[in-house]
């Protein structure tokens, strides 16, 4: 079976005084949600990275946590849903706002 698992990473660089967190969705093959989470931890072990940004400052990302594994009901392929969640409209509006506008209108 295939699962999608959100992995959250935190940046060492703040934006407008706010902590920046990235949500990345990874596909893993596993027999259960517990195995999927273990597989996601293996993926995450390779993720923490460091680099020098365009402004010359060092940036690092650290894994902060995992979301709930979500089982795909179909084999991965074109047009297959890999992640779904329910949310309140205000949360949707926050997700739709471009990152370049982070912190505006709050």
Q: Answer yes or no: is 13 within a domain.
A: yes
State yes or no: pLDDT of 93 exceeds 90: no
Bridge partner list, 8: 23, 65
Domain that holds residue 16: 2-74+82-101
Bridge partner list, 58: 52
* pLDDT classification of 29: cutoffs 50, 70, 90: very high
Say if pTM beats, i.e. exceeds, 0.85: no
Residue 39: predicted pLDDT: 97
Number of structural domains (the chain) is 1
Q: Answer yes or no: is 31 within a domain.
A: yes
Give residue-wise pLDDT tens across range 30-87.
999 999 999 999 999 998 788 898 888 899 999 999 999 999 988 898 988 888 878 8
Q: Answer yes or no: is 95 within a domain.
A: yes
Q: Answer yes or no: is 106 within a domain.
A: no
Residue 101: predicted pLDDT: 64
Backbone angles phi, psi at 57, to 5 degrees: -90, 145
């Amino acid at each position: 079976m295939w699962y999608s698992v959100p992995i959250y990473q935190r940046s060492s660089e703040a934006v407008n005084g706010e902590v920046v967190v990235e949500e990345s969705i990874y596909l893993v093959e596993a027999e259960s949600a517990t195995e999927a989470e273990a597989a996601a931890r293996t993926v995450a072990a390779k993720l923490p990275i460091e680099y020098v940004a365009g402004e010359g400052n060092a940036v690092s990302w650290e894994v902060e946590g995992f979301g709930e594994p979500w089982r795909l009901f179909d084999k991965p392929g074109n047009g297959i849903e890999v992640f779904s969640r329910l949310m309140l409209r205000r949360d949707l509006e926050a997700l739709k706002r471009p990152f370049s506008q982070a912190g505006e209108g709050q």
